Structure 1
Amino acid sequence: MSEVSYPIKLLIADDHEILASGMSSILSKQEELTILDTVSNGQEVLDFLADHEVDVVIMDLNMPVLNGIEATEIIKKKFPKTKILILSMFDREGYIQNALDVGVDGYVLKNVSESEILSAVKRIMEGKTYFSQDVMAKMAMKMRVYGESEGGVKLTDTERKILQHLSEGDTSGEISEKLDLAPNTITSYRKLLLQKFEAKNVSHMVKMAFEKGYLG
């Protein structure tokens, strides 16, 4: 667990000025946080990061010029120490999957409480990931079963690859290097796999995967 230095420095990115200002006003009341600024698109995020040290960017997905996914992909390469928390109204699997693929550190919906946003920020600053319950449930249920008669768990190609590596004893770091995915992305996929298999831990999941024929 990473040691967190307070106050946590935040940048808020949302093209709806009222929402961005409102979020800034709400979070600025928290002693553990410092709101550095609000910006309206992904390019402005990158410009700001070039001149300022930011701990966490709270970012919307649907923004002009450069959207949240595109911006995150660049940030993870150019500013790897900066954490990304997606705050979006979109709960469709495609949006969530794209966010996972570029390595966001967290994903919460805009209907969450102030306390949950604070919890999410603290958790990702500890080096963990945070996905709100609605988001995790959405991904865990995504094509969970091929059909009731088959009783199987449907996995994406990426999930199958990660499952295979986990069965071979690879760590998240090793899988990250082999698949060229961000470490946080691997951590998120591990959690989703555990939920899909309804397993207690990785060993239990691998055992179930062998029994169900997902592993050779």
Structure 2
Amino acid sequence: MKRILIADDHEVVRSGLRAIVEAHSSWIVSGEATNGEQAVALALETRPDVLIVDYSMPVMNGLEVSRRLKSLDVGAEVLILTMHESEELLTEAILAGVRGFLFKSDARKHLMSAIEALLDGRPYFTSVLLERLLHDYRTNKQNRSDMLLTSREQSVVQLIAEGHTNRSISEILKLSVKTVETHRASAMRKLRMSSTAELVRYAIRKKLVAP
């Protein structure tokens, strides 16, 4: 039996995903998480083959979950689900090592195919996402990386917007306080911002946190 872990902070979404997964006779749901930190803990405990992770989760977003699992050598593939059509998010997901990316609106139709691909060692991106990524690469490849926050910087900004201090962020992300301060300063410099309030507004606008 292949083990699938589901991480989403909405119970109705988790229930829907569970129903789709359990419709496959060779798959079982090894656990359900309501935030990114819990997803990492359950992955270490249950050792799933695939994690279905909502991008926009409290404490630790889906990309940070993927990065953490890779650093811990868990060996599971990550399938990111998102409501947001964003070229930047797709690019950052790939840079974070994510090999599966799916819109929530497509989950009912494509989720089983996505999981099967990841279990077979193949990446899975819906065609509209691939077309968007290729278009973005062709038209914006020059100096594009200088305009983006890294996924680690995005994680720091998300936690700042959720009200965490530098010290609590360092504990959540397993970084030194100095490193957190460096990421914070770098994000503010790239965004040309000078206050926490501006970072919070940016996080809301970019759907890193709920308004």
- TM-score, normalised relative to structure 1: 0.62
| Corresponding residue of 1:168 | none
* 1:32 aligned partner: 26
Counterpart of 1:139, as a letter, is L
Q: Choose which of 23, 30, 51 in structure 1 pairs with 2:45.
A: 51
What SS does the aligned partner of 1:91 have? coil
Alpha carbon RMSD of aligned pairs, Å?
Answer: 1.9
Give, in angstroms, the shift of residue 113 of structure 1: 4.7
Matched, 1:101 2:95: yes
Matches within 5 A, 1:1-216: 7-142=1-136, 144-145=138-139, 154=141
Q: Which whole-Å CA distance do the structure 2 matches of 1:78 and 1:115 have between them? A: 32
Structure 1 segments (4+ residues) deviating >4 Å: 155-158
Deviation at 1:157, TM superposition (A): 7.1
Which amino acid counterpart does residue 119 of structure 1 have in structure 2?
S
Aligned to 2:175: none
Task: Please tell me the residue identity of whatever aligns with 2:30.
Answer: L
Gaps of 5+ in 2: 146-211
**Matched residue of 2:47: which SS?**
coil
Alignment deviations for residues 141-166 of structure 1 (CA, whole Å, 9 cap, x no partner): 115237xxxxxxx45678xxxxxxxx
Higher helix share: 2
Q: Distance in 2 between matches of 1:76 and 1:121?
A: 18
Q: Structure 1: any 5+ residue segments left out of the alignment?
A: 1-6, 147-153, 159-216
- AA in 2 matched with 1:72: S
**Residues 1:109 and 1:136: Cα distance change in structure 2 (over 3 Å):** same
Residue type matched to 1:32 in 2?
S
Asked if the contact 2:5/2:43 (under 8 Å) is kept, the reply is: no
- Residues 112-153 of structure 1, C-alpha deviation per residue, up to 9 Å, x if partnerless? 15352111111111111111112111111115237xxxxxxx
Offset of 1:86 from its aligned partner? 0.7
Which of these two proteins has the greater Rg computed from alpha carbons?
Answer: 1
Q: Distance in 1 between matches of 2:105 and 2:115?
A: 16
Structure 2 counterpart of 1:19, which letter? V
Equivalent position amino acid for 1:131 in 2 = F
TM-score, normalisation: structure 2: 0.63
Question: Aligned residues: percent identity?
Answer: 28
Q: Deviations over 1:84-131 (max 9, x none)?
A: 011111220111111111101210111215352111111111111111
